Structure formats: structure tokens, C-alpha cells
Homo-oligomer: A and B are copies of this chain.
Amino acid sequence: MRKELTAKGKATRNRIIEGAAAVLREKDVSIATLDDVMARTRTSKSQLFHYFPTGKDELLLAVAHHEADQVLADQQPYLGCLDSWEAWQRWRDVVVERYEEQGEECPLGSLVLHLGRSTPGARDVVVALMRQWQESLATGIRALQTAGHLPADLDVEHRAAALLAGIQGGVAILQSTGRAEHLRAALDQGIGDLRRAAA
């Protein structure tokens, strides 16, 4: 944050964020404590408050940013060039695999929920993530259009929004029930309907 961070300081700060992220992947925010983070990152409490002066929420927000970046990064390179049906299919597989593997916990979701309205900026992290995600999907659909695989009068944003909603819901259901079939159904149905729109 501040300019006065030395290389060593930056490293420690990152270690804390990544360690905290790891902790939050194992236990819920409401259960995780600063002591957990300290143990995992081999830091002391004064370090935590040195790098995140306003306390826990500031650290949590930093972790949220970190996790949000991760979400889209995990879908690359496929999400970046959805210009053929094969690319869409590969992307679909990556998404399903990623979330099936993650399974139980959604650090970002519970993080933002926990920070909520009280912490300014928490909501913005999700808003930005959703915007970027939908943007990528829309770009992919447009790529299919220019390649002649889809009619030009398709409402791109609408379809991208619906697809994104399907993914989010599929993930949510996966996380609360443990079954990934809804995520698969949403993706397959969404892509399938897109393909049908080609004819």
C-alpha cells in the first residue's frame, strides 16, 4: 500500500495474504482467527497490524482481491479466446474441473458476505469480477458472430448475463449440496442453446 515498503516488507505482506487465503480455504471466515494466519505464515500479531493497520477487515479485503484475481486467472487461456466451439467446450471443462476440485468452500463468496456493507470496497470486488467475467463471455460470443457461427442480431449481453448467472448458481449449488450436476447442466444448456441459435 504505502511506498515505504521494502522488498522484504512486500514479501512478508504477500506471504500473509497468501497464507490467509490458504487458511480461508480450509475454514470459514467466521471461524478463522488472526492466530490461524499467524501460525500458518509464521508471523507475529504486530506484523499483521503493521501491514494492515486498520485490522482484520483490511487483511480480509486484500485476500478478497487476491482471490478475485485468481478466479479469472484459473480460466485462462481459454476464457481469453472463446472464438470456436471447441474453445468454448474446453473452457467449460476447465470451469467444471476447477470448481469440482475447490468443492466445499468459496472463500471469495463468504469473504464478501462477511465483510458486507460494513467494509467499503468489499462489494466492489465482486462487482468488478462479475463485470470482467461477463465481458469475457460477451467477447467470446461476439467472436463467434464475426466468425459467422452465430447470427448478428443475437442479444449478446443478455446471453452473457444469463450464462454467468447459470455458472454462479451452479457453483452455489455445488458448494451447498456437494453435487456438480447443476453447474454442468447450466453450462451445457447455455452453450447448447447458443449452438441451436446458430441454426
Write the residues of chain A forming the contact surface with B, with a CB cutoff of 8 angstroms: 28-30, 104, 109-110, 112-114, 116-117, 123, 126-127, 130, 158-159, 161-162, 164-173, 176-178, 181-183, 185-186, 188-190, 193, 196
Contact = CB atoms under 8 A, between A and B. Distances in A.
Given A29-B30, A130-B177, 5 more contacts: A110-B113, A127-B177, A159-B185, A172-B172, A189-B193
A78 to B, nearest CB: 20
Interface residues of A: mostly helix, strand, loop or mixed?
helix
B158 A164 contact: no
A104 to B, nearest CB: 8
B165 A173 contact: yes
A123 B172 contact: no
Given A28-B113, A30-B114, A193-B193, A172 B168 contact: yes
